[in-house]
Structures are given as structure tokens and as C-alpha cells.
Structure 1
């Protein structure tokens, strides 16, 4: 457990700074382009490279590449160095080709991710042009992802978590420049010029380029030689394909679900401006914040060790990693989920209600975030359970479970789209997400328990119960702060949102920490102490 905490603390400190700068980046994005047509066009274009990367690389990275790199390091005479160089070369060449094809196919891709956008509309034209400027980042993002995976297998966790900070700083500077250049016209698709769109799109890509450079430099300092190797026969692509075919299938399924989400939300945004893709995107980013700071950090540290234990047939060590990881992550996820459900608008109004984004727009983003709060724990546990299968090189089971989860998600989304008024559709999509992942987590738990002969359900359940009871007084305090602020200031606004956030969020979290210490929830004290210590040493 101490190794998980130390590795998790290194990454969580970096991720915390990354997420803070990400907050500023999202605030600047809302200020510069708003949540209506311009915001939807940008977010539709921005979603495409991540969708392509999910299909081609990111799922394979966690489920196939990390275990294969670990295997090469254990078995190859050179410690896997030649294999890592071949892998980097293959990924770079593949993604350069993909990026070129994607730029040429930008109109088709925008049409695929949206609904009811006429090809001759300003919204469609702006989205296509932005996509052509943003899609070249595919190659750099992929190289950075592989570099990060190699660093993780060498227990070098800091750079992959700190590199996004550089990306955020670059994009913040670009967005600030865009806002100054466009003035109040930055949120109007009819007034923004091609030169201004080039600044916005190419600046977004420049952030990914900077992130990749940081990772490659860190990899070289770790002893990796960036020598191209074209002897792909020794790259074990056949083995990777056999392991990765199921992961690609999972990526296809999840991307179909994501495309359905963007299509339904874009259609809702056409019917109710300001209630489309952009509120969904901004709320989802905030929903992912607690998981990204703690969950990803711990899970990333767990996977290489779980893979080694599984390769040695040590089921007891796999169980130990899981039983220590879930409470460690949940110590933060449990109180954060309740605070998101209560303080959604109080969080989003101070962040987004500036420039081109009105208070009402920010409140709606907060309403969507409140619904997403329901999904935080099911989603987190689902992700940890998938790593159990990946550590055994089993990519088939996650596809089947993920496919079922996505199918349920799609059915619920379509149903709620036709049942709810347009202004509530995106909130309905968030509710469908929560239900689908709750069911998926139950199914994944059942299968993983049989795979490793028990997951320690009683001990984990006991820890989670104590965490939920400990978070209850803080949730009540947060709810009271919202009620009092509304009584004092009336309609939702910056002042009452800030008071609710400081009192309900800040004091509510402190209350949780105090109660958790009293009832001896050791994970809370451990993770806070180590992350704080690491953060102080990093400053």
C-alpha cells in the first residue's frame, strides 16, 4: 500500500496542478467563445482527435502496451529497449498518416459527430476549419502517450502527470490572445475570421506539441534512446493485434456511444441554444476532475504492479493491489460525489460566468454537473475493475462488459432524448451515464471476483460505508449553505455561488476530513499527507 501511496502522491500532485491550470483554461474558453454556436463548433472539432485516439491508441495503451512493455523489460536481453524504440517508431508513422487523412476528411468527421448542422451554415464551416487546425495534434498526442507509458513502466510517474500543465499554459495564453483580438465577437460564428480561427485551432495544437516535447525529453533523461527502428517484424505486432483486437472493439463501442451523445446534445442545442454540446463538455470535464486527480494517479501506479503479479501467478498480490487501491481512491471520490450533487451551480458560476458565458448558462452547466455527481463512484470503481482484467492480458472481458454498458447507455439516452424537453436533454444524458455505469460496475465486479478468487468485498464495503457516513455531515452543511445563500441574495449569482462554494465546499470537506480522522479512515490521512508533502516539495 505504501508504494501505491508514494506513486499516487507523485502523480496526484502533478495532476492537481494540471487540473488547476485546466480550470483556468476552461474558464478562458468559456470567456472567449461562450456556450452557444461557437462553443459547440469548437468542442465538436476538439472531440474528434480524442475519438480517433481512443479508437487507435489510448485503449490499447492501457490494456495492451503497458503489459507488453513490462513483459519485454522482463524477458528481452536488452531490458526491452529495442522493443520500446520499435513501438515508438510504429506509432509515430501510423499517427502521421492518420492525421493527414483526418485533416482531409474533416467535413465528414464533423458531420459524423453532429446533427442538424447544414453544410452551408456558419457553425458547420467554423467547426470544419477548427478541426483542420486541431487534428494535426494526433501525431504528437500519440507519441506523448507512448512516451508516458514507457515512463510509467519504469516507475517514472512525475513527467506524465506534469506535462499537461505545459499544455494548459500554452492554450491559456492562446485563449487570452484570442479573446483580446476578437473582443466581444469571439462567441459569434458569423463574425469570427479565418485568421482568428487559425489562432484558436493552431494554438490548441501547439499545447499538445509542447506536452509531447516534455515527455520525450523526460524519456531521454530516463535513458531511452529515440532511435527509429523499422524492423517491425520484431515489434510483436501480431501479438499486440491479438490482444488489442478486443480493446479496439471496446473503443469502437465507446466511440459509438460518444458520437450518439454529441449528436443528441448538438440537436438539443439547436432547439435550445446554450443547452447543447458545450454544457455537456464543460460539466463532464469538472466531473472527471476528482477521478483525474486521484483515480487516474492510483490506477496508473497499480497497473504495472498488477501486471507483474498476474504474470507471476500471484493472485494474492493482485487482490492486495485492488483492496488497497479502491478505498484509497474512494476516500476522495465519496465526499466529492456528494458535494458535486449539491454544489454544482456554486462550482460552475464562479468558473464560467464571464465574458461570452452568462450566469444562466453557467447555472445550467452546474445542473448537468449535479447529475454527473451520481456517476462518480460507479464510474471510478468500473475503471479500477477493468484494470484487473487488463493486468492478466484479458482484453475480451472489458469489451463485453463495456459493450453492454454502452448499449444500456445508448438506450437510456435515446429514451430520455425523446421524453425530456430540449433544455433538459443534456441533464438526461448525464443521468443515463450514471445508471449505465452503476449496472456495468456490478457486472464487472462479479466477473472480476471470479477471476481473482475474491475481491475483499466485505472489507471494501465496510470502508466505503464509513466514508459515506463521514461525508454526510459535510453534505448537510453544503446543502444548508446553498439554502442560506439563496435566502440572502435571491436568484443564483456570483456572490451566493461563491459563498456556497467556500462554506459548503471548503468547510464541508474539512468537516469530512475531521470526522474521517476520528473514525480512523486511514486512507484519508495517508493520501492527504503524502500529496500535500509532495506538492510542497514540488513548489
Structure 2
């Protein structure tokens, strides 16, 4: 537990700063272009390279590449160095080609991800932005492989801190647009120069992030030498393992395509209620998982893979149990606070400039619904890593297909019965239902694989966490009621008061109650923080 806490703390610190600067980035972007038509065009273009990377690389990294690098380090005479160089060479060459092709077919990609007419201004602007943003595919892919190699060397700092530079560069670009651009949030007035500043500024951030990771590789003694002897790259083994992971990502991306189409259709009917509020609320929803969940999983997966390779299945169960309890000790109170404080969180961040307070409140309403999904989503992601550590990439595809199918059914159903102004909230609810059911299925199958995951122990721990968090939720509700009744609504200052009283004091109350209830994960976190502060 202490080793996991130390590794996770390093990553969580970097990720926290990254997410905070990411919030500033989103805040400045919303200030500059708003969340109506121009915001939807930007967010549609911005989402596409991430979707392509998911299909080609990022899903395979966590489930296939990291375990294969670990095995190469354990069994190859050069401790896997040549294999790492082949991997970086292959990914670099492939992603340069993919980036070039993506730029050429940008209109087809925008048409796939949105419900806009090809001749509309939204479509044309999104295509222009996509052609400026899509070249980042090559740089992002290179950085991702470099980060995976660093993680297998137990160097977690650079991969977690490099995105901070990315955010800073993009913030600078958006501030330049806000100060020098002529279009503001008006889609009709935005010029090609404005779009170039937005798009190239976005890509410049990824370039800077990748450079930092390459420099970090050199500092651990990695000297890149292009290697094209692909017969020794174990592509066959990677393909056999990765085909199922790619299948899983394809399934989830089909769900994302449906989501963006439904959201863009709603935005056509009610401006400000389309892709942008979905994207911004989802980013906020991902923050707790990104800070805590990703940090724990990144530290957990290499160790779990080593335990499986050495046949130490008891250690696999122990690693999983410790991870899920550690993550949920934070996710449980945060999920309740998101459900209560959604608008109070989003108004100070997004209620400025080209974006109105009403637009920001709607983003908060979507975030409230997403709060339901936080704990199931985090547990779901942990469970998939159990299969990946065994080299099983097939089962997650079936689980992901089932989860995505349930999500799609509920998205279509809720979009059909809800008014357009509530469509995006319905998409968030469908997401929560799907991942709750998916987590149940994944737990059942993973438990069979390792002959038990300690469900009773985890269930009792979660029960105690929720009981400890209930006073926090009540305090947050009281803060919202008192401020909105006494101070007439959630403006910028009123929202900060709610966050300080309901969120800040609420989390302190949770820590106190959890400490009294002797929840060990909370006590470990409090003890670690106290020791660091004492220094």
C-alpha cells in the first residue's frame, strides 16, 4: 500500500496540476469562443485526433504494449532496449502517415462525427479546424509511446507533468485569439486567420508535450536509434493480442460517434446545448478519475503484469483490492459532491466572455448526471486491467461491446423521449447506466479468472465510505440551498461561496468522519499528506 501510495502520489501531483491547467485551458477557450456553434465546431474537430489515437494506439498501449515491454525487459539480453527502439520507430512512421491521410479526409471525418449539413458554416469551420489540429496525431503518438516506455522504467513524473506544458501553450494561443481575433464566438465573423490561430495553437501544445517526453527518455539513458528490422518487433504477437483491444476501442468509438451525432443534432435545435456542454462536462467528470484512477492504474498495471508472469496470483488479487479501495476512498465523496455542486463548479469556470452564466449552469446540470457514473466507471476501468495483466484482450472486447450496446440503446431512447434541451443530460444518464451494468459484468468475469476478487471486503469498504460521505452531501445541499435562497442564484461569487462551504468544508468533514470510522485508505492518505506538510 505504501509503495502504491508513493508512486500514485507522484503521478497524482502531476496529473492534478495538468488537470487544473486543463481547466484553465477550457475556461479560456469557453471565454474566447463560447459553447454555441463555434464551440461545437472546435470541439468536434478537437475530438477526432483523440478518437483516431484510441483506435490505433492508446488502447493498445495500456493493455498490450506495456506488458510486452515488461516481458522484453525481463527476458531480452539487452533488457528490452532494442525492442523499445523498434516500437518507437514503427509508431512514429505509422502515425506520420495516418496524420497525413487524416488531413486529406477531414471532411469525411467531420461528416462521420456530426449531424451537420455539408454546406453549413458549422461544417466548414470544423473541417478547417480539423486540418490544423489533425497533424498533432504524429506528435501525440510519439509522446504516448515514450510515456509508456518511461512508465515501465518506473519513471512516472514526466508523463504526468508534460501535459501541463501542453495546456500552457494552448492557453497562450486562446488568449491571443481572445485579444487579437476578430470573430469572438460568432461563427459568421470568424476568419481563416482566427481558425489558424486556434488550430495551430492546439497542435503546438502537443508538439511541446512530446518534446518533453523525448528529453525525459534520454535522461533515463534511452538513446533513440531508428530500427526497421520489424521481424524482431514481435508484430505477430502484438497483433494477436492487440486485435481484440483495437476491437474494444472500435466498439467504444462507435458509441462516441453516436454520442456526438445526437449532441450535435440537439445543438442545432437549442444553441449551447450540443457538443460543447457534453465535452466540457465530460472533461470535468474525468478529472477525479484522471488524477487518482489513472495514477493508481499506471502504477498498478506493470506490477500486476509482473505478478501474472511469475505466477503470483495472490498478489494480483491483493493489488486489485488495494487499488479499488484506494480509488473509491476518493471517488465516493467526489461523486456525491458532483451530483450536488455541478452548477456551482461550472459557473466560475465557464460563465464568462462569449459564454453566458445560463450556458455554464447547463454544463453543470450535465455534470450532476455524470456524477452518478464516477464510481462505476472507475471500478470498470480497474477490472479491465485484470484481464490485460493476464494477456487477455478478448474478454474486454465482449464486455465493452455489451456496455456500448446498452449505452447506445439508452442514448437513442432518451434522446427520442426528452426535449432537445435535455438531450445531453440524457446522454450522461445513459452513460452512467451502461457503466454500472458493465462493471457488474466485468466483476463477475474477472472474479472467475482469479478465483475471487474479495467482493465482500470491497463491498463493506464501499458501504463505509458512502456512510462517511453522507454528511458531506448533506452539508453541500445545505450550502446550495442557503446561498441560492439568500443571495439570489449562482453567480460567480455565490458559486465560490458554495464551493468553499459545501465542497471544501464537506471534504474536510468526510476525512474526519472516515478517520473516525477507521477507513484505512483514507487514514493512509491523511497520514502521507500530514508527513509531507510536516516537512
Distance 1:424 1:348 in 2: 17
- Give the CA RMSD over aligned residues: 1.2
- SS of 1:455 mapped into structure 2: coil
Is 1:511 paired with 2:509? yes
Change (3 A) 1:351 1:176: same
Q: In the TM superposition, what is the alpha-carbon distance from 1:312 to its structure 2 partner?
A: 1.1
Change (3 A) 1:358 1:45: same
> Any conservation in 1 of the 2:114–2:261 contact (CA below 8 Å)?
yes
Superposed counterparts of 1:472-483, under 5 Å: 472-483=470-481
Moved more, 458-467 or 362-371: 458-467
Q: In the TM superposition, what is the alpha-carbon distance from 1:535 to its structure 2 partner?
A: 9.4
Q: In the TM superposition, what is the alpha-carbon distance from 1:182 to its structure 2 partner?
A: 2.1
Q: In the TM superposition, what is the alpha-carbon distance from 1:196 to its structure 2 partner?
A: 1.1
TM-score (norm 2): 0.99
Q: In the TM superposition, what is the alpha-carbon distance from 1:120 to its structure 2 partner?
A: 2.1
Q: Deviations over 1:210-242 (max 9, x none)?
A: 110111100110111111101011000010000
Distance 1:14 1:78 in 2: 31
1:382 matched to which residue of 2?
A: 380
Q: Deviations over 1:332-386 (max 9, x none)?
A: 1000000000000000001100000100000000000000000000000000000
2:414 matched to which residue of 1?
A: 416
Distance 1:325 1:528 in 2: 17
Superposed counterparts of 1:254-273, under 5 Å: 254-273=252-271
1:89 matched to which residue of 2?
A: 89
1:187 matched to which residue of 2?
A: 185
1:403 matched to which residue of 2?
A: 401
2:214 matched to which residue of 1?
A: 216
Is 1:51 paired with 2:45? no
Is 1:174 paired with 2:173? yes
1:485 matched to which residue of 2?
A: 483
2:35 matched to which residue of 1?
A: 35
Distance 1:231 1:530 in 2: 47
Q: Deviations over 1:243-301 (max 9, x none)?
A: 00100100110000000000000000001110000000000000000000000000110
> Any conservation in 1 of the 2:483–2:489 contact (CA below 8 Å)?
no
Q: Which 5+ residue runs of structure 1 have no aligned equivalent?
A: none
> Any conservation in 1 of the 2:106–2:130 contact (CA below 8 Å)?
yes
Q: Which runs of 4+ in 1 moved over 4 A?
A: 531-537
Moved more, 118-127 or 474-483: 118-127
Q: In the TM superposition, what is the alpha-carbon distance from 1:525 to its structure 2 partner?
A: 3.0
Change (3 A) 1:512 1:10: same
Q: Deviations over 1:136-157 (max 9, x none)?
A: 0000000110011011111001
Q: In the TM superposition, what is the alpha-carbon distance from 1:516 to its structure 2 partner?
A: 1.1
1:280 matched to which residue of 2?
A: 278
- SS of 1:119 mapped into structure 2: coil
Superposed counterparts of 1:231-310, under 5 Å: 231-310=229-308
Q: In the TM superposition, what is the alpha-carbon distance from 1:461 to its structure 2 partner?
A: 1.2
Q: In the TM superposition, what is the alpha-carbon distance from 1:96 to its structure 2 partner?
A: 0.2
Q: In the TM superposition, what is the alpha-carbon distance from 1:186 to its structure 2 partner?
A: 1.7
Q: In the TM superposition, what is the alpha-carbon distance from 1:489 to its structure 2 partner?
A: 1.8
> Any conservation in 2 of the 1:12–1:531 contact (CA below 8 Å)?
no
Distance 1:382 1:452 in 2: 16
1:98 matched to which residue of 2?
A: 98
- SS of 1:78 mapped into structure 2: coil
> Any conservation in 1 of the 2:140–2:210 contact (CA below 8 Å)?
yes
> Any conservation in 2 of the 1:489–1:495 contact (CA below 8 Å)?
no
Change (3 A) 1:489 1:6: same
- SS of 2:392 mapped into structure 1: coil
1:350 corresponds, among 335, 348, 351, to 348
Q: Deviations over 1:164-204 (max 9, x none)?
A: 00101100111111100126x32111111101111110010
1:119 matched to which residue of 2?
A: 118
Superposed counterparts of 1:317-396, under 5 Å: 317-396=315-394
> Any conservation in 1 of the 2:335–2:372 contact (CA below 8 Å)?
yes
Distance 2:263 2:424 in 1: 6
Q: In the TM superposition, what is the alpha-carbon distance from 1:529 to its structure 2 partner?
A: 4.6
Change (3 A) 1:310 1:535: farther
Distance 2:463 2:270 in 1: 41
Q: Deviations over 1:287-328 (max 9, x none)?
A: 000000000000110000000001111110000100110110
Distance 2:46 2:294 in 1: 22
Distance 1:289 1:223 in 2: 33
- SS of 2:181 mapped into structure 1: helix
> Any conservation in 2 of the 1:32–1:186 contact (CA below 8 Å)?
yes
Q: In the TM superposition, what is the alpha-carbon distance from 1:421 to its structure 2 partner?
A: 0.2
> Any conservation in 2 of the 1:9–1:534 contact (CA below 8 Å)?
no
1:137 matched to which residue of 2?
A: 136
Is 1:427 paired with 2:425? yes
Change (3 A) 1:158 1:246: same
Distance 2:109 2:356 in 1: 30
Q: In the TM superposition, what is the alpha-carbon distance from 1:528 to its structure 2 partner?
A: 4.5
Q: In the TM superposition, what is the alpha-carbon distance from 1:530 to its structure 2 partner?
A: 3.6
Distance 2:410 2:265 in 1: 17
- SS of 1:168 mapped into structure 2: helix
> Any conservation in 1 of the 2:258–2:408 contact (CA below 8 Å)?
yes
Change (3 A) 1:535 1:302: farther
Is 1:199 paired with 2:190? no
> Any conservation in 2 of the 1:13–1:535 contact (CA below 8 Å)?
no
Q: In the TM superposition, what is the alpha-carbon distance from 1:522 to its structure 2 partner?
A: 2.0
> Between Structure 1 and Structure 2, how many residues are aligned?
535
1:68 matched to which residue of 2?
A: 68
